[in-house]
Every structure is written in structure tokens, then in C-alpha cells.
Amino acid sequence: MKMTVAQALVEIICKEGITTAFGIPGAAINPVYKYLEHAPIQHFTMRHEEACVHAADGYQRAKHEIALAICSAGPGATNFVTGLYTAFIDSMPVFCVVGQANLNQLRQEPFQCVDMPDIVKTVTKKAWCLKEADKLPEIMREAFWLMRSGRPGPVLLELPLDIQKAEFDFDINTYEPLPVEKPAPDQAKIRQAIEMIRESKAPVIIMGGGCLISGCSDRVVALAEKLQVPVITTYQAKGGIPENHPLNAGHAGIQVGQPIGNRVLLDSDLVLAIGNRFSDRHTGDLKTYREGRKFIHVNIEPRQIGMVFEPDLAIVSDAALAVEALIKEAEGKEWAAAPRVAQIPALRKELARKTDYNCSPMMPHRVFQEVNDVFGDETYFTSGCGITQIWSGQLQTINKAGKYLPSGGAGTLGYEIPALLGVKVAHPECDCVTVVGDFGLTFMGEEIAVASAFKKPIIVVVVNNAYLGLIRQNQKGYGFEYAVDMPYNQDGTIDYVKLGEAYGCVAERVFSPDELHSALIRAKASTEASGRCYLIDAICIKTQLCDMGGSIAAIKSWAPQEA
């Protein structure tokens, strides 16, 4: 039967399982919107194109289902780039569709014409410009297969306006998605890994974000329990093991890392790293990180292994399949815990950072203590970048896998709020909270209005320190401070309460821990009862620095003992 490309596209994405779209209609994409109107897809009209991708990204992280991000051509399409990069580096599949000028005009520099496939080739698994109508089905099969296979990631399809309206012979009943196969580990290498662990005196497991993507965090914990080995999580795997589990050694790193994670890693002689990338914020100085220990690296993407350093043993495999193989190989063998394992709970308590500061304005640390106290284990959190993200990674208590959804590899200011909207769409029954800096709030903060308009209530807690805190801290290392103070964020010139109210929130400003605690309780109750978003402007000490350093053995603490 004859069908336009626009209609076929919508029918295919429905068959591939898409039920949610985040987009902004426009002249160069309206033929597709004609068919979206009556499709079984809920569509959320966003306020900025970048936010479309972040929202689809957050939806994917929370629900493990691909969403559609869609917009028009030109500057609308180029606004997708930051969202694509954010999703790509964190291995999140998002299907992006953008409009384009007519095919015969592409070399004439027409209005809002830009070569998106060329622009996004480094931040997508693949990008296409559809130039022949009948090529759509094969491109779509490849697009969804690529998003789901190997290391997941986003793709982009550019649709010239005349091609959207072009007809071709197509029957949706003949379209079938391509099967996705997960690579299994080499059994000989699994046996070698188990022998290396048996021969070591102080092994440790690193649980990376790939374990959460493959849905095997609980099995990693089971493996650790079998082997009696402590577990360190990367930032992307925060929550993959309950905070108070006797084998939880926190996470290691030079910024969002925790003292216990760094201590346990430094005291280890063998590292079994599963589904991680050995990123620079995790490793810090590589000599310190690597010296005196062997590494086994499990990753689904062959190019990731050896990218930072060559491990002693490389296993290319889906994380879940590798973990199950390791558990099976470990069966029937005796495993005795090293003496240090029994000490982990006490060590975790001993090395925990102080948060119970009672001063006003507040220490940022206390903000996270109150958030931890008020919100339960089913709460979803997002985090973007900056000094607030570092405190979040260091101090937030997360007990369940997939509840803490940060922009990790990109560290994108502006990710927090639209991603949180995507999470709320995925799980409307759960509290959805972000703790954001006063500067970060102004990146994509307009998407609070979308959450309000669609009655998807989110809670936004602003750590208002009236500074570009992380940039100021970096500048101090160079011996200067310039263009980073924002006194107007606290002196009433910029009023975040009025901003929140303008975006449909209930909003209030707090100055003390007690006020914050009460406000958080009101926020939780209000969003559940009224369906309105809630914004809390928490006035904090302006110049507090965060703990960090260049090596996991040399983290400088800036927090006072009392306040």
C-alpha cells in the first residue's frame, strides 16, 4: 500500500515500542506531527530543544524504554547536540528525529538548513539523512538495532521536508525489528578471573554503570557475597548496592568519590571492574590508581578495554552474562573473607563525611542530610554538574539501583530538570527530586513550566551559594578569583521563589536546617496532594569548597569540623 514517509515513520516507532515523545513542532517537521497526533504516543511539548533529548534520556534511564526526541530544522536541530552528547557518553539510547529543508535545496543554503548528520557524528552511534523514501524501513531497523546493541547510545534521523511527504509502498505488517544479541564471555577467561581472585589477598569489585544498564547490579552483589569481596561503585552505579550492606565500600574517585572507597581501593591488590570506563574523575592520577594491583576489566564494548590503560585480563561481554558466568564458576569452591572485609561497616562509619552542621546560612552538606532524611528509597534523583553535583555524589544516600540518575560523563548543567521530567513521566507514582545549584537552575529551568503544565510534579531544591562554586575552587588553584561571584542570587535582586511561582511551583526560601526540613516535608506532601511542582531556595554559605584532589590518595578536605 502507498504510505507517506511521515506516516510510515510513526507506525514503525510504535512497532519498535515507543510510547512517549518529547518534542517541539515546527514547519520542517509538521508532516510527522500530523501522524503523531493520532498515534498511541503521549507527547510532551518542551520549552527548549535540548530539553527534549534530556527528557527522553531521563525517561530511558528510569524506565529502560526508548523515547522519541523530535524537533524542527536549523537552530532547533542544533540544540539537540548537547543532549545527544550527554546521552552518548552515558550510554543511553534515545531516538532523535529532526526536520530539514527540501532535498533539492540542501546545497543552496536555504532557511534553517544545517547538516545535522555531519554535526552529530561524534555524539551518536550513527546519524542519517533520509534521501530516498523507500530506504526508511531499513534505516529504522538499523537505528533501533544500533541503539540497543553493544554499548547502547542515541541515533539521529534527519528528514527533508519533501521526503516526509513522499509516498512509497509500505506495509507495517512486513516490518520486524532486528534481534539484538548480547556478547557472552570467553569461559576460559572467566576461569582465569576466578583463579586470579583466589590468588589475591585483598580483591575488590568495582560495579560500573554498565551493571545498571544490563540490570545485573543485584547479581554483582550476589557475586560479592559469594566471594566475600567488598564492592566499590562508580558514580554512575551509585545505589547499585544498599548503603548499609556489609560489603558496600562506597565509591572511589577524586571528586564524587568517598573516603572509604578510596581507602579500600588503595588497600586492594586485585580489581575486578565490571561495566565501567575508568574515567578520569574516578581514577585521578593513574600511577597512584594502578600501582600495586592487578586489573580484570569486563566491558561490552571492546574499544573501551585498554582505552585508559591495559588491564591484566580483558573480558568482552555483556555485564549480566559475565557476572552469571563468574557466579557459576565460583560455585563449589571455598571462599574465605579477608580480615578487612569484616571491618567495612565500621570503616564506613569512621570515614563518613560530616553533614550535621547547624549553622545558618546552611552548609551545603546539611542540605543533603535533610534530603536523605525526608525522601525514601523509591525516590528518583537527577544531578547535573558543578560543586552541587560533587556534594550530591559524596553525600546522598541511595539504596536502590537506578534511583540516582546523573549526567556522568558530560556533566551537563541543564540536564537535571528536563531529565527529571522524563523520570516523572516514566514513574508518576514516585517522588522525583533534583538538588541543583543556583546557577545550574537557570540552565533549562524553564522546563519546570512543562512539568507544571502537564501535572507531572517535580521537587527542585536549590543550593543557593551565590557563586559559581566549582569554578571558583578551580580558579583558587591558579591563585585568582574572577567573574564567579553572584551576590544578586541571595540579596533579593534575583528571586528564585518568584521564578518558581512563575513556572507554576509552590515555592519558598529557607535559611536554616529546621526550616529546610519542614519545607521538604511540605514539598513531598504538596506534590502528592496537589500535583503542583515545588521549589525550595536553600540559602547556603557562599564560599564553602568541596573535598577533592588530583589523586585518590590525596583528597583535600575543606569541610570544617564544626559549624
How crowded is residue 102: how many other Cβ atoms within 10 Å of its Cβ? 16
- Mean pLDDT for all residues in the chain: 97
Contact partners, residue 99, CB within 8 Å, separation at least 6: 26, 27, 28, 29, 32, 71, 72, 73, 76, 77, 158, 159, 161, 164
Q: Which fold has domain 2-174?
A: Rossmann fold (3.40.50)
Dmax of the chain from CA atoms? 75
CB contact burial 272-297 (16+ within 10 A = b; e otherwise): bbbbbbbbebbbbbeebbbeebbbbb
C-alpha cell at 507: 515555592
223-282: pLDDT as tens digits: 999 999 999 999 999 999 999 999 999 999 999 999 999 999 999 999 999 999 999 999
Q: Which fold has domain 187-350?
A: Rossmann fold (3.40.50)
- pLDDT score, position 563: 63
Beta pairing partners, 405: 382
Helix 416-426 / helix 49-63 crossing angle, nearest 10 deg: 50
Which residues of the chain are in CATH 3.40.50.1220 domains? 187-350
Q: What percent of the chain has pLDDT over 90?
A: 96
How crowded is residue 216: how many other Cβ atoms within 10 Å of its Cβ? 25
514-542: pLDDT as tens digits: 999 999 999 999 999 999 999 999 999 99
* Distance in angstroms between the alpha carbons of the first and the last residue of the chain: 73
- pLDDT score, position 562: 72
Strands 167-169 and 270-274: unpaired
Residue 168 has pLDDT above 90, yes or no: yes
What does the alpha-carbon distance between residue 292 and residue 497 come to, in Å, rounded to a whole number?
A: 52
> Model-level pTM?
0.98
Which residues of the chain are in CATH 3.40.50.970 domains? 2-174, 364-539
User: Would you say how long the chain is, in residues?
Assistant: 563
How crowded is residue 530: how many other Cβ atoms within 10 Å of its Cβ? 12
What does the alpha-carbon distance between residue 543 and residue 523 come to, in Å, rounded to a whole number?
A: 27
364-539 is a CATH 3.40.20.10 domain: no
Q: What are the start-end ranges of the E strands in 154-278?
A: 155-160, 167-169, 203-207, 231-233, 248-251, 270-274
Sheet harboring 42-45: ordered strands across?
42-45, 20-23, 68-71, 95-100, 155-160, 126-129
At 540, phi and psi to the nearest 5?
-120, 165
Amino acid identity of residue 297, one-letter, is H
Cβ(430)–Cβ(417) below 8 Å = no
Residue 561 has pLDDT above 80, yes or no: no
- pLDDT score, position 261: 98
